[in-house]
A = this chain, B = another copy of it.
């Protein structure tokens, strides 16, 4: 007799047949006595297709119009799901972001949710209907449609769950939960029954594609329990929640991320202020630098390396082409074949030997560490991309995460795995 918010991603609603499956699943929840609110993403690749149309008519689509355009994707899937539910004999009412009361700030393309006005959803629930809410979108104070950025439907689901006081926010996707690491890379990966918000946040931002960081942040802030589970099976997934009784594992999971690149500036004069000039120029050109490594100075010159998302590389090149001559640097080189491997675990705070064990493990496996960064509950190491899978596997074994059974991927087609890999990048 729970109040459940159930969010279905683009893959789960990619075709009329899949939408009918989602409808049947929601009906089963109702038959089990639960109250349920659905949140949906746009069908399959709709958002990318709409972006393509926008680029075809405008070199720089205005943000207000772009958000209105993109928001139609979820409006299509929400109405189709409502129709499918009514076709099964259940009353359903679809709600746009505006109608669902998702109030955001005015930063188009990446708006932040300010408030959730729950009245219309509550009324629909009280009338016995199944509300179906369009994910990814809201409305600002001026009445303009905004969108929440990539993966924003997860955030909508968590926000709605908070707004209506739901018992759980179930996030359905093509994976059946959160694993100690990517099972396609390390077949002995284990599915976690539960994980803390902090560990999940670090895993998400370190490259685990299961949940969007912003949704997890929102859930942590408002204490919303997330249940990440498969849209294609009934198995329990992973609960993301705060649990004082939870035993703090030293290492909860290992994430990897191949989307970053490494840039090395050669032979820069080692004078005060050079690094500051470089990184403030990069920042003001919207390059998100991650790790920074400065070599020991020789003869008054030094090399400085940094890593950044591959998507920022063009802007990084543009910045360096502009400032390197003034700074007196010799050249810069780009290495695109790197991978970041991250160990995550709240227990790390009280276990000082983690870094030593990780370095030793990689050393014994002849894997060279190119850069290191840490947070209180995360240790990230950059390695050569060709050695990333091996690094994940040997660390997974060294930290006692291996399962007795070997993961066999059965539910996804080769095409779907490829899509996931790409999304994970």
Contact = CB atoms under 8 A, between A and B. Distances in A.
Given A16-B53, A53-B16, A69 B76 contact: yes
Contacts of A81: 57
Contacts of A56: 16-17
B86 A80 contact: no
A65 B87 CA distance: 12
Contact of A82 (B53, B65, B75, B80): B65
Contacts of A20: 57
B68 A84 contact: no
Contacts of A72: 72, 75-76
A53 B82 CA distance: 13
A72 B84 CA distance: 18
A62 interface: yes
Q: How many copies does the complex hold?
A: 2
A80 B61 CA distance: 9
Interface string A71-85: 010011001111110
Which residue, A16, A53, A58, A72, has most C-beta atoms of chain B within 10 A? A58
Size category of the A interface is: 20 to 34
Given A58-B83, A58-B86, A62-B83, A68 B94 contact: yes
Contacts of A192: none
Nearest to A56: B16
B87 A80 contact: no
A405 interface: no
A50 interface: yes
Interface string A17-35: 1011001000000000000
Interface string A49-60: 010011011111
Contacts of A84: 57-58
A66 interface: yes
B83 A54 contact: yes
Contact of A87 (B53, B59, B69, B75): B59
B53 A65 contact: no
A62 B90 CA distance: 12
A393 B94 CA distance: 53
Contact of A79 (B19, B66, B86): B66
A265 to B, nearest CB: 37
A95 to B, nearest CB: 10
Interface of A: 16-17, 19-20, 23, 50, 53-54, 56-62, 65-66, 68-69, 72, 75-76, 79-84, 86-87, 92, 94
8 contacts: A58-B86, A61-B86, A61-B87, A65-B94, A66-B83, A68-B75, A68-B79, A69-B75
